[in-house]
Structure 1
């Protein structure tokens, strides 16, 4: 049975460590849940997944902000499945 997604809500800010630096990211609960599930599926810590997304976004010109890059990564991942 598939677990129901979290109800819509305002962004939730969390602190994460990327390349040894702490940063805050604000995402809606739905996106945090999807990101946590992706990390489990990939067998990686959440910070490692976020670090990969961050590295990818910095290679683009101009780079999106990190929260937007995470949402876009999750959307692209959903399209691929």
Structure 2
């Protein structure tokens, strides 16, 4: 199981923590994204595997999201991308 960081106030055994809002920079613009700690953890791990900073991976996900016929919100796109990433491995 992918757990949350202790710094986020959630034990690794608790995947049902409320969302945490973070500011990220995409294409030079700041935006806030709310994700559950387990998704922030998975996003950091995926970025490390890709050899990218988290902001760069989010920007890549955002480009793919905007190419969709009916783009979801960014947080939803990140969750879907992470799910697909897990399924690919």
User: Shorter chain as normaliser: what TM range?
Assistant: over 0.9
Structure 2 runs not aligned, ≥5 long: 5-13
Following TM superposition, by how much is the alpha carbon of 1:61 offset from its aligned partner in structure 2, in angstroms?
1.0
Contact 2:2 2:38 in 1 (8 A): no
Q: For 1:42 and 1:75, locate their aligned partners in 2 and report how far apart those are by CA, in whole Å.
A: 15
Which residue does 1:17 correspond to in 2? 25
Aligned residues: 79
User: RMSD between aligned alpha carbons?
Assistant: 1.1
The normalised TM-score by structure 1 is 0.93
Structure 1 runs not aligned, ≥5 long: none
Q: Decide which of 3, 6, 9 is 1:5's aligned counterpart.
A: 3
Which residue does 1:69 correspond to in 2? 77
Which residue does 1:46 correspond to in 2? 54
- For residues 76 and 48 of structure 1, do their structure 2 counterparts lie closer, same or farther at Cα, with a shift above 3 Å needed? same
What secondary structure sits across from 2:32 in the alignment? strand
Following TM superposition, by how much is the alpha carbon of 1:30 offset from its aligned partner in structure 2, in angstroms?
0.3
4+ residue runs over 3 A deviation = none
Which residue does 2:40 correspond to in 1? 32
